[in-house]
Amino acid sequence: MSDSVWIIGTSMTKFGRYPDKDTVDLASEAALGALDDAGTTMADMGVLAVGCLLEASAMLGQRLQKQIGQSGVAVYNVANACATGATAVRTALLAIKAGEADLGLAVGVEQMGKAGLLGPAGQARSKPAGYTPSGRYGSVMAVEGILGTGLMPGVFAQAGMEYASRHSGVGFEQFAKVAEKNHAHSTLNPLAQYQKAFSLEQVMGAEMVAYPNTLLMCCPTGDGAAAVVLCSGAKLKSLGLDVRRRAVKVSASVLTSDPYVESDTAQPDVSTLTKMAAAQAYEAAGVGPADLDLVELHDCFATAELIHYENLSLCEAGGAGDFIDRRGPWRDGQTPVNVSGGLISKGHPIGATGVANLYEVATHLRGEAGDRQIDGARVGLAHVIGLGSACAVHVLERAAS
Amino acid sequence: MVPATASKRIPVVDYLVIEGEPHLEANACVACGALYFDRRNACARCGKLEFTRKTLATTGSLRSYTIIHRAAPNVPVPYVSSVIELDGGGVVKANLVAAGTDPEKIELGMKVALTTFPCGHDEEGTEAVAFGFVPA
């Protein structure tokens, strides 16, 4: 069993829209980039895990191999909602931890185009011939818009408004400030889908999608890929000085699912499993929130980011509104959050997101983030959540030197 | 004799009871009391297998909401989606109706009561009945 696992190579495509490429093109670009960054090739990989929500059932990992190298190793095709990419990383990590491989490649990719509203009931209702109760709720029709909403902007709006109902000093303006920050951060990231700053007034005045989330407070759909090469601690010792110097330690890798809570009957609870994952990750890594130099967290909507400040213990209980009001999560604040621009502006090609977050954190820890570098970053945390739910938290640390 | 053209009504989901005073029913775990609106194979909280039908209160409070302005085709907007905490147990999602769509006038935590409304007809003339909540 390996005592430690390290990231020795990482890469991501610019997020955006690539109508002239296919999913395998995007995955290949990120995979070859990460292998090159690590100074290695597919021939050395002992395991391959590929995360892609929309094509996980279509042998995407094997199709990728046919473009970058077929060697007969174990391939895992991974899907776990918006935690898909992080789960792929964790799959390769587990193979290394188990001693089955010394080196592994994890790739996250998605090609969504302009998908619009996401959720199980985002399509038009059809005209019924005769009502027949069906399914586990005995429903006679799709109930989206009749019994509330299950679409993502509304679900995460309701999650944020529940936090607002319990804590003072949280409202539309605090949620909007999150998006103001992430759009501002994205102007420094050439890999972000959008790189345009908006004033708080512009964010609040944009088209309302699901109050309090305006269009500028919702992540876009898009295309992109990211990859990491993972390496066991023992193997790392045999690699060159430059690889070792740039290696980033995976100090914690945690995946949780929903424990039972009473309100599950209304909608998934995105907070409890995030709190559990964070607590386990801090324990495993032996670090606390105060030690973090940067955090990439799952801001699918501005309302989500705000509640995750508390879920990840970046602020005091009930203090998320105050935290954003005093600019705590800005890049020059107490704990920089989503200096990449976050999902809101960097983009959210679903399968790629959980790997791209690790790319971002690792790049800062290596001191290679260019204009957006957080100076002297030593410890960072990456968080994703897939509704339903799956939550992954990784803590990364710079190699001691 | 029942006329062949008698209008029929059907609840949009089977946890809504429309006979008599309309109310919601849940599948309650006999062992631990956990409530579910859908059919369960076993209790998600305690793993036990036995359930009983439980009548839920028609009053509660507004736990959360959102005002939907962009929706799927055929869904009229704006409307208010809400999460309601029922008095005596049960958390349910439904539309908040007759409360307007101005966030300044929707108060988190306010008392609400169950209401029903027609939400469609099939080609046989059967009316589907949905539930929502109104400020109490």
Q: Which residue of A has its CA nearest to B118?
A: A146
Which pLDDT band, with edges at 50, 70 and 90, does A401 fall under?
low
Residues A227 and A164 in one domain: no
Closest partner CB to B71 (pick from A145, A157, A267): A145
Residues A106 and A168 in one domain: no
Provide mean pLDDT across the span A126-139: 88
- B55-75 b/e (C-beta count within 10 Å ≥ 16 → b): ebebebbbbbbbbbbbbbeeb
Closest partner CB to A122 (pick from B39, B65, B72): B72
Q: Spot the catalytic one: A82, A219, A231, A391.
A: A82
Q: How far is A219 from chain B (nearest CA, A)?
A: 15
pLDDT digits (tens, 9 = 90+) for A309-328: 999 999 999 999 999 999 99
Identify the DSSP state of A42: G
Contact A129, B123 (CB under 8 A): yes
Residues A260 and A201 in one domain: yes
pLDDT digits (tens, 9 = 90+) for A364-400: 999 999 999 999 999 999 999 999 999 999 999 998 6
- Model pLDDT, residue A120: 63
Residues A241 and A343 in one domain: no
Contact A344, A209 (CB under 8 A): no
Residues A329 and A237 in one domain: no
Q: How far is A174 from chain B (nearest CA, A)?
A: 15
Closest partner CB to B70 (pick from A140, A158, A209): A209
Establish, for the pair of chains A and B, how many residue pairs have beta carbons separated by less than 8 Å: 172
Angle between helix A272-285 and helix A302-311 axes, rounded to 10 deg: 50
**Per the domain annotation, does A17 fall within a domain?**
yes
Q: Which residue of B has its CA nearest to A167?
A: B108
- Model pLDDT, residue A121: 60
Residues A305 and A324 in one domain: yes
CB contact under 8 A, B44 and A260: yes
Closest partner CB to B63 (pick from A123, A128, A165): A165
* Domain boundary, last residue among A207, A234, A249: A249
Contact A229, A38 (CB under 8 A): yes
In chain A, what residues touch B11 (CB-CB under 8 Å)? Answer: 140
Residues A367 and A298 in one domain: yes
**Per the domain annotation, does A162 fall within a domain?**
yes
**Per the domain annotation, does A145 fall within a domain?**
no
Distance, CA of A139 to CA of B10 (rounded, Å): 10
Q: Which residue of A has its CA nearest to B14?
A: A138
Which pLDDT band, with edges at 50, 70 and 90, does A238 fall under?
very high
Q: How far is A153 from chain B (nearest CA, A)?
A: 9
Which pLDDT band, with edges at 50, 70 and 90, does A161 fall under?
very high
- Model pLDDT, residue A1: 57
Residues A228 and A260 in one domain: no
**Per the domain annotation, does A129 fall within a domain?**
no
- Model pLDDT, residue A117: 79
Tokens at residue A191, please?
A: 């890999």
**Per the domain annotation, does A180 fall within a domain?**
yes
Tokens at residue A12, please?
A: 């991501």
- Model pLDDT, residue A325: 98
Q: How far is A106 from chain B (nearest CA, A)?
A: 33
Residues of chain B with pLDDT under 70: 1-6
Q: Does B107 contact chain A (CB < 8 Å)?
A: no
Residues A205 and A236 in one domain: no
**Per the domain annotation, does A320 fall within a domain?**
yes
Residues A106 and A187 in one domain: no
- Model pLDDT, residue A125: 57
* Domain boundary, last residue among A198, A231, A249: A249
Residues A226 and A274 in one domain: no
Strand partners, B93: B83
Q: How far is A363 from chain B (nearest CA, A)?
A: 37
CB contact under 8 A, A129 and B123: yes
In chain A, the percentage of residues whose pLDDT exceeds 90 is 94
For residue B108, which of B133, B132, B89, B84 has the smallest C-alpha distance?
Answer: B84
pLDDT digits (tens, 9 = 90+) for A336-357: 999 999 999 999 999 999 999 9
Contact A340, A183 (CB under 8 A): no
Q: Which residues are within 8 A (CB) of B83 and not within 5 positions of it... i.e. 6 or more apart?
A: A148, A158, A162, A263, A266, A267, B62, B63, B64, B65, B91, B92, B93
Closest partner CB to A131 (pick from B63, B103, B126): B126
Q: A136, A170, A272, A303: best mutation site toward chain B, by most B Cβ within 10 Å?
A: A136
CB contact under 8 A, A165 and B93: no
Which pLDDT band, with edges at 50, 70 and 90, does A128 fall under?
confident
pLDDT digits (tens, 9 = 90+) for A174-205: 999 999 999 999 999 999 999 999 999 999 99
Q: What mean pLDDT, rounded, does chain A reach?
A: 96
CB contact under 8 A, B68 and A145: yes
Which pLDDT band, with edges at 50, 70 and 90, does A127 fall under?
low
- Model pLDDT, residue B94: 98
Q: How far is A125 from chain B (nearest CA, A)?
A: 7
Provide mean pLDDT across the span A216-245: 97
Domain span holding position A169: 152-218+251-398
Active site residue A348: yes
Q: Which residue of B has its CA nearest to A152?
A: B71
**Per the domain annotation, does A33 fall within a domain?**
yes
Helix, strand, coil shares of chain A, percent, nearest 5, are 40, 20, 40
Q: Does B105 contact chain A (CB < 8 Å)?
A: no
Q: A208, A269, A272, A306: best mutation site toward chain B, by most B Cβ within 10 Å?
A: A208
Q: Spot the catalytic one: A183, A348, A364, A383.
A: A348
Count of structural domains within chain A:
2
In chain B, what residues touch A267 (CB-CB under 8 Å)? Answer: 83, 93
Q: β-strands A294-296, A379-386: how paired?
A: parallel
**Per the domain annotation, does A370 fall within a domain?**
yes
CB contact under 8 A, A140 and B66: no
Does the pLDDT of residue A126 top 70, yes or no? no
Provide mean pLDDT across the span A126-154: 92
Does the pLDDT of residue A116 top 90, yes or no? no
CATH of residue A352: 3.40.47.10
Closest partner CB to A138 (pick from B14, B64, B67): B14
In the block, residue with structure tokens 């954003």: A324
Identify the DSSP state of A300: S
Residues A103 and A180 in one domain: no
Q: Does B53 contact chain A (CB < 8 Å)?
A: no
Q: B9, B13, B37: best mutation site toward chain A, by most A Cβ within 10 Å?
A: B13
Distance, CA of A179 to CA of A20 (rounded, Å): 30
More confident site: B94 or A117:
B94
